[in-house]
Amino acid sequence: MTTTFVPVPGGRLHVVDDGAAGDPPILLLHAFVSDLRSWDDLVPPLVAAGHRVVRYDVRGFGETTTEDVEYSNRADLLAVLDALGIGRVALVGNSGGGQIVIDTAVESPDRVVAVIGVGAGLGGFEGDLTPEERALMEEGEALESAEEPDVEAIVDLDMRAWLDGIGQPDTRVPAAIRERFRALDAPQYEPGRVRGRPIILRPPAADRLAELRCPVLVVAGALDLSEVAQTARHLEANAPAARAMILPDVAHMIGMEIPDLLAALIVEFLAPLPRWS
């Protein structure tokens, strides 16, 4: 494992690189309630299957730092590839990280061989929330906008929404994973943390799905917010080479809950592709 920092305009990205440099590379991008450590259990089986695995912290998360500047998440991703000498890559993104990898595949198709969205967002697409889901989202917004945010309460709500699954018991996910999630989520709410100002892809990816021509696998959990599965099915119906897979008994943080199964799905999906680097 190699850890480095890649300079980008107004910041530097914390990058971890596992596996052999000559193996087909996969880049993992985390959800916005975690950082690159959320992939810790997914990396070993991907490396064992013969892949180079790169991951990094998005601006505002983990050990990446940024000034309060405008920036492109797509440009940051390409900067990581360029710094590591990677020409083409398979992209895996969870949640907000999923939206970034889809945006990158639309904007820079020559650099992307395949996309795997994991509970992925899609810029410009909004699904329908149930009343219970909407109430929880509004509760979260109120907690975060408070004059003195209660970090513990925010993280508890994040855990209910994104790890346990709305309406699920707090015993569904093993206690060790819940504690790991808490440790990953809490730092993003530290006072003074600078996030920068991301430049949104325009037009959004939802309006440009015909341009998403690489193979796409969209994995969603049946216990996740209902709009996540809706997003997966929308991609399957409208992107030229997309397939949706809804997994039972799992919520949003699929890479933390069932890393071995997710790794197997990724490896199987990528296996037919010609070797890339």
Interval 58-88: pLDDT, tens: 999 999 999 999 999 999 999 999 999 999 9
Helix or strand run (H / E) with residue 245? strand 242-247
Does residue 228 sit in the same domain as residue 147? no
Q: If you search the block for the tokens 């990677």, which residue do you land on? A: 86
Position 6 scores a pLDDT of: 98
Does residue 99 sit in the same domain as residue 201? yes
Bond prior to 9 in cis (omega within 30° of 0): no
Does residue 135 sit in the same domain as residue 226? no
pLDDT tens digits, 15-28: 999 999 999 999 99
Does residue 92 sit in the same domain as residue 148? no
How far apart are the C-alpha atoms of 189 and 53, rounded to whole Å?
28
**Which domain CATH number covers 243?**
3.40.50.1820
Spatial contact of 224 and 165, defined as CB atoms under 8 Å apart: yes
158 Cβ contact partners less than 8 Å away, ≥ 6 residues apart: 33, 140, 181, 185
Does residue 218 sit in the same domain as residue 106? yes
Does residue 170 sit in the same domain as residue 92? no
Spatial contact of 274 and 247, defined as CB atoms under 8 Å apart: no
Q: Is the pLDDT of residue 204 over 90?
A: yes
How far apart are the C-alpha atoms of 15 and 56, rounded to whole Å?
4
Domain holding 238, by residue range, is: 2-127+193-270
Does residue 198 sit in the same domain as residue 107? yes
Does residue 179 sit in the same domain as residue 248? no
Choosing from 144, 170, 189, the residue where a domain stops is: 189
Number of domains in the chain: 2
Per-chain mean pLDDT for the chain: 97
- Give me the count of residues in the chain: 277
Spatial contact of 74 and 107, defined as CB atoms under 8 Å apart: yes
How far apart are the C-alpha atoms of 26 and 45, rounded to whole Å?
12
Does residue 102 sit in the same domain as residue 20? yes
Does residue 218 sit in the same domain as residue 236? yes
Choosing from 119, 154, 189, the residue where a domain stops is: 189
Helix or strand run (H / E) with residue 197? strand 197-198
184 falls within a domain? yes
Q: Is the overall model pTM greater than 0.85, yes or no?
A: yes
Does residue 81 sit in the same domain as residue 99? yes
Does residue 172 sit in the same domain as residue 236? no
Spatial contact of 79 and 13, defined as CB atoms under 8 Å apart: yes
275 falls within a domain? no
